[in-house]
Amino acid sequence: MSEEIFFYFISHILIGITAFFLGVFVLINSRKKINILFFLFSMSVSLWALFYSIWVISVDQEVALFFAKLLNSIAILIPAFYFHWLMCLLEGCKDKKKIVLVYIVTVLFVITSFTDFFISGIQSISSFSYFPKSNWLHKLFLVEWVIIIFYGIIALLRLIKQSKDKRKAQLITVLIGTTIGFFGGSVNFLFMLGIDIVPAFLSVLVIVFPIMFGYAMIEYNLMNVEAVFVHILLIILNIGSISFVFTSNTRIEYIMKIIFCTLIFLVSYLLIRNYNKEVEQKKELLKLSKELKRANTELKRLDKAKSEFISIASHQLRTPLTAIKGYISLILEGAYGKVAPEIETALNKIFLANERLIQLVEDLLNITHIEDGRLEYHIEDVHVEEILEELYDMFIMRAQDKGLDFVLKLPDGKLPTLQADKSKLREVISNLIDNAIKYTNKGFVHVSVKHNKRTMRIIVEDSGVGISEASMNTLFAKFSRGTDSSKIYTEGTGLGLFVGKNLIESQGGHIYANSDGVGKGSTFIIEMPISAS
């Protein structure tokens, strides 16, 4: 055997083994249709290469002719499986008519591949003594081969122009594999046609075929490339251990090596099985992650729809509620004539209920605007003492009705101004005083102000129900109410403090509460930065 023939023998064995393992690895990764087609394509390349290696070392003319026909029979399958795989890669196997047509032609060629109409005999060409000679049916097969190759290249080029990023890289890889691989295979066809103008060793380029396609499947379909090499190493280890058995010199040595080989096989099997389980788990986790992402997107959409509904409903409610408040005020003031005492009592209750509804509507509007980031602030110079004195006058009657010591303590001298939204600051302080009176049955409610050069503290202190340690953690949360406060006043919504916290913090301030526990009163403190003079 010449060195050149030995080179073809070894190189095609390597092509066959490489194509086989690549096909198996891609099939292990997934049982999808495109992976199965790649497996069939790889197996056809593998069988062609292995029969090629047997044919090339054949010394008998009849044996050489048989294996020449056999490897050409297998070669007929390569463009068919390639075309089907490529159609699935490019179009998702939608054009079934073309695929069926290619398979019909392929079957006809395979059936006639062992006749003299396909391979008429053998010839001596280049360094080969028994190279198959092409006949008219084989020439027709070559026409099909060329059509499929050019169709694939044109389709790939067209789709590459339209694709981006990862998909584009995958298609470019397939295009390179198609061009180089089929060029290598065409060297054999030239020799079969009696044309000796290209070096025969270029036929080894067929190896590029499965490697580039396999790389495109593995790398761009997110198969774990490191795991592929682990599989390769395990297979090589098993092949090596089997070969090691045949070097035994004694029966005991033979038995021991078989046991050793079996253990390696079992360990390899367990490793591969565990890896496959991990792959399945990762796929499940990825699936769950995608489902959670979709669910999260849907929840955000629903939350946005909810906020829009609340905003629209609140706007629609505010106008009639304000009108009701105005008319009740006019009736109570006697604008429509004297009101009987019992009717006045009923109207006062209606007025208070309407006030609670107005406050609820305002809180809901504020919440939707806060969550959407659409709440507008009108920043101006604010004199806190003016707000506190106004609120004191507004709440003094309620406090006295409950017998509470309601006191406003302002420091001597003029207070520094704040840069804030006056109406929103007033709303928050009003809510704190209202809560203090509401949740204090006896004792006091004191409102005071302290300040230094940088910060002003507005303090609302009471001797009411107090706040438990558990309630303190969720005090400023949406719809949160302390268990003790809810027993005393059942009609609260748990929105006031949540809204107040957002209104203060969005203006650079801070709001917090202190309490020694249930029944020991509470203190709410608003801290606001003082305007630079």
Q: Which two tokens stand for residue 378?
A: 């009108």
Q: Are residues 366 and 393 in the same domain?
A: no
Q: Can you say whether the dihedral through the CA atoms of 469, 475, 478, 484 is positive or negative?
A: positive
Kindly state whether residue 255 falls inside one of the protein's structural domains.
no
Kindly state whether residue 17 falls inside one of the protein's structural domains.
yes
- C-alpha distances out from residue 122 to 141, 197, 259, 373, 449, Å: 18, 19, 48, 83, 110
Nearest Cα residue to 56 out of 132, 114, 116, 121: 132
pLDDT of residue 223: 44
Buried b (16+ CB within 10 A) or exposed e, 382-406: bebeebbeebbeebeeebeeeebeb
Pairwise CA distance, residues 442 & 462, whole Å: 9
Kindly state whether residue 274 falls inside one of the protein's structural domains.
no
Kindly state whether residue 283 falls inside one of the protein's structural domains.
no
Which amino acid appears at position 108 of this protein?
L
The CATH number of the domain holding residue 518 is 3.30.565.10
The neighbouring-strand residues paired with 405 are 444
Q: Which of 346, 372, 398 delimits the end of a domain? A: 372
Cα 77 off chain centre by? 40
Kindly state whether residue 257 falls inside one of the protein's structural domains.
no
Host domain of residue 47: 3-206
Q: Can you say whether the dihedral through the CA atoms of 181, 183, 184, 188 is positive or negative?
A: positive
pLDDT of residue 486: 47
Q: Which two tokens stand for residue 18?
A: 């490489």
Q: Are residues 7 and 95 in the same domain?
A: yes
Pairwise CA distance, residues 341 & 334, whole Å: 12
pLDDT of residue 218: 58
pLDDT of residue 228: 55
Q: Which of 372, 394, 424 delimits the end of a domain? A: 372
Which amino acid appears at position 249 of this protein?
N
Pairwise CA distance, residues 191 & 452, whole Å: 99
Q: Are residues 354 and 483 in the same domain?
A: no
Q: Are residues 309 and 394 in the same domain?
A: no
Pairwise CA distance, residues 458 & 386, whole Å: 13
Q: Are residues 330 and 421 in the same domain?
A: no
Q: Are residues 150 and 10 in the same domain?
A: yes
Nearest Cα residue to 346 out of 331, 326, 361: 331
Q: Are residues 360 and 384 in the same domain?
A: no
Yes or no: say if 484 and 465 are a contact pair by the CB < 8 Å rule. yes
pLDDT of residue 290: 85
Q: Are residues 312 and 340 in the same domain?
A: yes
In the DSSP assignment, the letter for residue 530 is B
3-state helix, strand, coil in the chain (%, to 5): 70, 10, 20
Q: Are residues 19 and 130 in the same domain?
A: yes
Q: How many domains does the chain have?
A: 3
Q: Are residues 32 and 111 in the same domain?
A: yes
pLDDT of residue 367: 66
Averaged in consecutive runs of 10 residues, what is the pLDDT profile of the chain (533 residues)?
74 80 76 84 88 87 89 90 84 81 92 90 83 90 89 84 73 77 76 74 65 62 50 61 61 74 76 71 82 86 69 69 84 84 85 77 68 74 91 90 92 87 88 90 93 91 89 75 50 70 88 89 92 63
Q: Are residues 362 and 427 in the same domain?
A: no
> pTM of the entire structure?
0.46
Q: Which of 189, 206, 223 delimits the end of a domain? A: 206
pLDDT of residue 338: 85
- C-alpha distances out from residue 302 to 201, 293, 297, 299, Å: 66, 14, 9, 5
Nearest Cα residue to 206 out of 177, 181, 174, 175: 181
Kindly state whether residue 243 falls inside one of the protein's structural domains.
no
Q: Are residues 319 and 386 in the same domain?
A: no
Cα 14 off chain centre by? 40
Residues near 20 by beta carbon (within 8 Å), at least 6 away in sequence: 42, 43, 46
For residues 342, 344, 350 and 355, what is the CA-based torsion angle, rounded to 10 degrees?
A: -150
Q: Which two tokens stand for residue 380?
A: 């101006």
Kindly state whether residue 233 falls inside one of the protein's structural domains.
no
The CATH number of the domain holding residue 359 is 1.10.287.130
| Torsion-angle region of 138 (φ positive above 0: left; ψ -120 to 50: alpha; else: beta) | alpha
| Torsion-angle region of 494 (φ positive above 0: left; ψ -120 to 50: alpha; else: beta) | left
The two beta strands, 128-134 and 522-529, are: unpaired
Kindly state whether residue 166 falls inside one of the protein's structural domains.
yes
Which uninterrupted H or E stretch holds 150? helix 136-162
In the DSSP assignment, the letter for residue 133 is E
